[in-house]
Amino acid sequence: MVQDWLRRATFVDWFLLALRIAVVAVVGTGFVAGLLHPRYSRAEWFSFLAFGLTIGAIYALIALGYTMVYGILRMVNFAHGDVFMFGAYAACFSLLACNRAGILGPDPALSFLIATVVCIAVSAGVAVLAERIAYRPFRRGRSLAPLISTLGLSFVLEYSARGMFGAQNKAFPSMPAVDGIVAFAGFSVPRVQVVVVAAAVLTMVVLTLIVMRTRIGTAMRAVAEDRDAATLMGINVDRVIVFTFALGGALAGIAGLLYGLVFKQISFFMGFFLGVKGFGAAVLGGIGNIPGAMLGGYALGLVESLGPAAFLEGLGVSSPYQLRDAIAYTMLVMVLIFRPRGLLGERLSTARA
């Protein structure tokens, strides 16, 4: 087999092999050097892990929106990050309203429920609007028009938010119920992180049930597999598309609420950076693949929080956290070099091949 490879290998194959070896060597050296000079205690490693899981959960929820729309339409909805931003503002204003009504402190569960419902409604509404305005008019044409129009819509959404809510960063109301620290397996973790990770996992379970067990979920999978065949089988493709946008929007809305709870500060421009990260996570996991988006989100979050400490520290890089995004995106590129279709592969790839 090796001989066979040697016979067929081209310059590009040799280059990729060298690149892979170099990457493994650099990462391995950094990792081993880091282990030899331990700087962090177990509690701190655990904190990094918890941070990574928290931000990873948020990336995963955003990535799911990208991946579902891609799975069905093979189009990237660049306005998705801004749908997330609207969810965060909706959650922020509903929690402020709960605070004014005096139920935020005494009845946190009810406030959380109200905020969840409001942010789901707003984000799903904005996502459906995006589909109606920026996607549907261009459906019939086989061009890049829908892609460009979602980009344009993204700016429209950002700057309408700026007009409505102001250019300044806004403080997210803190919920006393999720403040504080809980002991977990001998380590202490901020309670809000536990709540966020649990809520994200719960959301993903619900999503999996919707996609795998309901009629509309089956229809979604059918449209993703082969849109023309699905139409012939009597599936209302338009309805499925609207539902997909709404579902992705709802997940982004929940991500907005959870983001606000963790980082306690939101701004009209936040959708851009997190949208890019979410898209990266979706590609990392294999775009179009729902479990892939979840995995990609968590992987990206964990690499961001653990990477600088695990690899760069050992390589003697100063201020390693400034390079966090560089690590995350380098990893994205590396994964795509090793596995061009993402960690779990594009679901559509088999149909296309």
Partner 1 sequence: MTIDARRAVLRGFAAACLAATMLSGAVRAETLGPVTDDVGVVKIAKGQPILIGALLVLSGPDLSLGVDASRGAEIAFDDHKNTLVGHPIRYLPEDGQCSVEGGQTGATRLASNRQIVGVLGTACSSESRGGAPILWNAGMPQAVTSATAPALTAPDRPVGLQGIVRFVYNDINGAGAAVKYAQSVRATKVATMHDGSLYAEELVNAFARQFKAAGGTIVAAEAISPSDTDLRPVLTRIGTTKPELLFAPIFVGASAYLVRQAKEVPTLASTPVLGTDAVLAPAFLDAAGDGAVGYRLTGVDNDPKLMGARYGDFLAKYKEKFGEDPIGGFHGNGYDAALAMMTAIEKVAKTDAGGDTYIGRKALRDALMQTADLDGITGKLTCDKNGDCGSSHFAVFEYASGDPSTFKLGANPKKVFP
Residues that bind partner 1 (CB under 8 A): 39-41, 43-44, 47-48, 51, 55, 167-174, 181, 188, 190, 263-265, 267, 270, 273, 304-305, 308-309, 318-322, 324-325
Nearest distance from residue 298's CB to partner 1, in Å? 14
Q: How many of the other CB atoms lie within 10 Å of CB of 206?
A: 13
Nearest distance from residue 259's CB to partner 1, in Å? 8
- Separation between Cα atoms, residue 160 and residue 154, nearest integer Å: 10
Query: What's the token pair of residue 66?
Result: 């990208």
Nearest distance from residue 282's CB to partner 1, in Å? 19
From first CA to last CA, the distance across the chain in angstroms is 25
Phi and psi (nearest 5°) for 183? Answer: -85, 135
- Separation between Cα atoms, residue 215 and residue 165, nearest integer Å: 39
Longest dimension (CA), the chain: 75
Of 111 and 305, CB closest to partner 1:
305
Nearest distance from residue 51's CB to partner 1, in Å? 5
Nearest distance from residue 314's CB to partner 1, in Å? 14
Among 269, 301, 264, CA closest to 63:
301
Among 254, 277, 266, CA closest to 199:
254
Query: What's the token pair of residue 58?
Result: 């948020």
Of 31 and 263, CB closest to partner 1:
263
Of 49 and 121, CB closest to partner 1:
49
- Separation between Cα atoms, residue 293 and residue 61, nearest integer Å: 8
Nearest distance from residue 38's CB to partner 1, in Å? 10
Among 330, 244, 350, 322, CA closest to 284:
330
Of 65 and 308, CB closest to partner 1:
308
Of 67 and 305, CB closest to partner 1:
305
Cβ-based neighbours of 88, under 8 Å, separated by 6 or more: 119, 172, 256, 257, 259, 260, 266, 270
Of 66 and 172, CB closest to partner 1:
172
Of 188 and 218, CB closest to partner 1:
188
Nearest distance from residue 319's CB to partner 1, in Å? 4
Is residue 147 a contact partner of residue 70, using CB atoms and an 8 Å limit?
Answer: no
Nearest distance from residue 162's CB to partner 1, in Å? 9
The residue assigned the tokens 């536990």 is: 194
Of 173 and 248, CB closest to partner 1:
173
For residue 309, give the DSSP letter.
I
For residue 321, give the DSSP letter.
G
Is residue 314 a contact partner of residue 57, using CB atoms and an 8 Å limit?
Answer: no
Nearest distance from residue 263's CB to partner 1, in Å? 5
Rounded (to 5) percent helix, strand, coil in the chain: 75, 5, 20
Q: How many of the other CB atoms lie within 10 Å of CB of 268?
A: 25
Query: What's the token pair of residue 239?
Result: 């309805």
Of 43 and 233, CB closest to partner 1:
43
